Amino acid sequence: MSKLEIRDLQVTVGGTQILNGITLTINSGEVHAVMGPNGAGKSTLSAAIMGKPGYEVVGGSVKLDGQDVLAMPTWQRAVAGLHLVMQYPTEVPGVKLSEVLSEALVARHATLPNLNKTINEEAARISFDSELVNRAVNVDFSGGEKKRNETLQLAVLKPKIAILDELDSGLDIDALRDCAKRVEDATNETGMGALVITHYSRLFEELKPDFVHILAKGRIVKSGGPELADELERDGYAAYAVTAE
């Protein structure tokens, strides 16, 4: 069992306070959805958890199984078991996916007897063209291909806790279904916990949230079960005194 504990997290960007005290605990196998309008601070939350430069934590704590995540460089957070699927995956010219994954496994002191076989099996599982696996990471990929590629990395590396920042942005309905299903499977098969950031509840057709939290203006203003996502789908964010852009 693993546990990611976020306590009263306060974050500034460029001197402006964006997160005003976020408290959230994610256990193995749990799916926590964080929903909110544009500019609420959703990406800031994911960036602060992973230690992206420019996001300054001015208060609170983040612990993974009791270890102080905020004291670690980003690579060590990944080795410790955190994995971010980015809203806008980065293109990495000249570097193949197998090279990225093989280095990531070395950093984890882990070995996979046949990495290329695993990559091909996982690619097939999410209908990701195995031809693309041999090209430079994300370079000239479509939105859907990029998210499939990111999901494949998650499937191979088997993090303890995954953070998905708008997995559903920029991809078509087939890619969304394949990626969301694979993440849901990981929560059941390896007990991965997930922090799922999204605008829209359509992601939840395949990836079932156990808890839904509404983030507005840098605060969690309401938490509940999956029914909260249905309510948002129906009524929007207006009830939370914020406007979606």
Binding site for ligand ADP (CB under 6 A): 13-14, 18, 36, 38-44, 54
Least distance between ligand ADP and beta carbon 191 (Å): 27
Query: Is-contact 210 31, C-beta < 8 A?
Result: yes
Least distance between ligand ADP and beta carbon 37 (Å): 7
Return the one option of Mg ion, ligand ADP, none that residue 13 interacts with (CB less than 5 to 8 A, by type). ligand ADP
For residue 115, what are its two tokens? Answer: 């990495």
Toward ligand ADP, which CB reaches closer, 101 or 216? Answer: 216
CA pair distance 98, 194, nearest whole angstrom: 24
* Maximum alpha-carbon separation in the chain: 53
Return the one option of Mg ion, ligand ADP, none that residue 15 interacts with (CB less than 5 to 8 A, by type). none
CA pair distance 227, 21, nearest whole angstrom: 24
Toward Mg ion, which CB reaches closer, 143 or 191? Answer: 143
Least distance between ligand ADP and beta carbon 240 (Å): 13
Return the one option of ligand ADP, Mg ion, none that residue 193 interacts with (CB less than 5 to 8 A, by type). none
Residue 43 makes contact with Mg ion by CB under 5 A: yes
What are residue 237's phi and psi, to 5 degrees? -95, 5
CA pair distance 80, 57, nearest whole angstrom: 19
What Cα–Cα distance (Å) separates residue 30 from each residue in 26, 175, 187, 209, 214?
6, 23, 7, 8, 17
Number of neighbouring beta carbons within 10 Å of residue 188: 10
CA nearest 228: which of 218, 215, 217, 219? 215
Contact window for Mg ion (CB under 5 A) among 38-46, 51-59, 180-188, 199-207: 38-46
Toward ligand ADP, which CB reaches closer, 38 or 134? Answer: 38
Return the one option of Mg ion, ligand ADP, none that residue 101 interacts with (CB less than 5 to 8 A, by type). none
Toward Mg ion, which CB reaches closer, 2 or 46? Answer: 46
Nearest residue (beta carbon) to Mg ion = 43
Return the one option of Mg ion, ligand ADP, none that residue 41 interacts with (CB less than 5 to 8 A, by type). ligand ADP
Contact window for Mg ion (CB under 5 A) among 17-25, 40-48, 104-112, 156-164: 40-48
Toward Mg ion, which CB reaches closer, 2 or 43? Answer: 43
Toward Mg ion, which CB reaches closer, 32 or 42? Answer: 42
Return the one option of ligand ADP, Mg ion, none that residue 14 interacts with (CB less than 5 to 8 A, by type). ligand ADP
Query: Is-contact 225 201, C-beta < 8 A?
Result: no
For residue 146, what are its two tokens? Answer: 């990029």
CA geometry: angle 238, 244, 245, nearest 5 deg: 150
Give the β-pairing of 67-68 and 55-64: antiparallel
Binding site for Mg ion (CB under 5 A): 42-43
